[in-house]
Amino acid sequence: MKNLVILGGGYGGMKILSELLPNHLPEDVTITLVDRVPYHCLKTEYYALAAGTISDKEVRVAFPEHPRLVVKYGEVTGIDTTGRKINMADGEQLAYDDLIIGLGCEDKYHGVPGAEQFTYSIQSIEKARHTYSVLNNLGPGSVVGIVGAGLSGVELASELSESREDLNIKLFDRGKHILSAFPERLSKYVENWFVRNNVEIINNSNITKVEENRLYNHDVPIECDVIVWTAGIQANKIARDMDGEKDRSGRLIVTKHHHLPTDEHIFIVGDCASSPHAPSAQLAEGQAEQIAEVLKKRWNGEPVPESFPPIKLKGVLGSLGKKQGFGMMADHAITGRVARMLKSGILWMYKFHNG
Ligand SMILES: Cc1cc2nc3c(=O)[nH]c(=O)nc-3n(C[C@H](O)[C@H](O)[C@H](O)COP(=O)(O)OP(=O)(O)OC[C@H]3O[C@@H](n4cnc5c(N)ncnc54)[C@H](O)[C@@H]3O)c2cc1C
Q: Does 281 sit in the ligand 1 pocket, CB within 6 Å?
A: yes
* Mutation probe of ligand 1 site: the residue of 14, 34, 43 with most atoms within 8 A of C-beta: 43
pLDDT at 339: 96
**What's the longest Cα–Cα distance across the chain?**
65
Contacts of 328 (CB under 8 A, 6+ apart): 182, 183, 186, 315, 316, 334
Whole-number pLDDT of residue 330: 85
Q: Label residue 300 exposed, middle or buried (CB < 10 Å: 0-12, 13-18, 19+).
A: exposed
Which residues are registered as beta bridge partners of 41?
60
Nearest CA to ligand 1 atom 27: 104
Residue 225, pLDDT score: 98
User: Given CA atoms 264, 266, 269, 275 in this order, what sign does their dihedral have?
Assistant: negative
Pick among 3.50.50.60, 3.90.228.20, 3.60.70.12, 3.40.50.300: CATH of 2-36+74-106+233-299 = 3.50.50.60
Question: Is 131 touching ligand 1 by the criterion CB < 6 Å?
Answer: no
- Distance from the alpha carbon of residue 238 to the mean position of ligand 1, in angstroms: 14
Q: Residue 130's pLDDT is what?
A: 98
The response to whether residue 75 sits with its C-beta less than 6 Å from ligand 1 reads yes
pLDDT of res. 180 = 87
* DSSP string of 187-217, one letter each residue: HHHHHHHHHHTTEEEETT--EEEEETTEEEE
**Cβ of 46 less than 6 Å from ligand 1:** yes
Q: In terms of Cα–Cα distance, which of 142, 101, 144 is closest to 122? A: 144
- Tell the residue nearest (CA) to atom 19 of ligand 1: 280
Q: Indicate which residue's Cα is closest to atom 3 of ligand 1.
A: 44
Is the pTM higher than 0.85?
yes
Q: Is 155 in the pocket of ligand 1 (CB under 6 A)?
A: yes
Alpha carbon of 10 to ligand 1 centroid (Å): 6
283 Cα nearest atom in ligand 1? 11
Phi, then psi, of 309 in degrees rounded to 5 = -65, 155
β-bridge partners, 144? 169, 226
Q: Is 122 in the pocket of ligand 1 (CB under 6 A)?
A: yes
Question: According to the model, what pLDDT value does residue 2 have?
Answer: 95
CA 38 – CA 168 distance, rounded (Å): 36
Q: Is the CB of 328 under 6 A from ligand 1?
A: no
CATH number, span 109-231: 3.50.50.60
Distance 104 CA to ligand 1 centre (A): 5
Domain boundaries along the sequence of the chain? 2-36+74-106+233-299, 109-231
For residue 95, the CA-to-ligand 1 centroid distance in Å is 25
Ligand 1 near 103 CB (within 6 A)? yes
Q: Is 232 a pocket residue for ligand 1 (Cβ < 6 Å)?
A: no
Q: Which of 11, 87, 354 to mutate to test the pocket of ligand 1 (most atoms within 8 A of CB)?
A: 11
The residue whose C-alpha atom lies closest to atom 50 belonging to ligand 1 is 44
pLDDT tens digit at each of 355 positions of the chain: 999 999 999 999 999 999 999 888 999 999 999 999 999 999 999 999 999 999 999 999 999 999 999 999 999 999 999 999 999 999 999 999 999 999 999 999 999 999 999 999 999 999 999 999 999 999 999 999 999 999 999 999 999 999 999 999 999 999 999 998 899 999 999 999 999 999 999 999 999 999 999 999 999 999 999 999 999 999 999 999 999 999 999 999 999 999 999 999 999 999 999 999 999 999 999 999 999 999 999 999 999 999 999 999 999 999 999 999 999 998 899 999 999 999 999 999 999 999 7
Measure 172 CA to ligand 1 centroid, in angstroms.
23
Q: 86 has which bridge partners? A: 79, 94
Instruction: Report the pLDDT value the prediction gives residue 179, as an integer from 0 to 100.
Output: 92
Rounded Cα–Cα distance for residues 268 and 294 (Å): 13
Our answer on whether the CB atom of 151 is closer than 6 Å to any ligand 1 atom is yes
Task: Please tell me if the CB atom of residue 9 comes closer than 6 angstroms to any atom of ligand 1.
Answer: yes
Pocket test for ligand 1, best of 53, 103, 316 (most atoms within 8 A of CB): 103
In this structure, the number of other CB atoms found within 10 A of the CB of residue 274 comes to 17
Q: Is 270 in the pocket of ligand 1 (CB under 6 A)?
A: yes
Radius of gyration of the chain (CA): 21
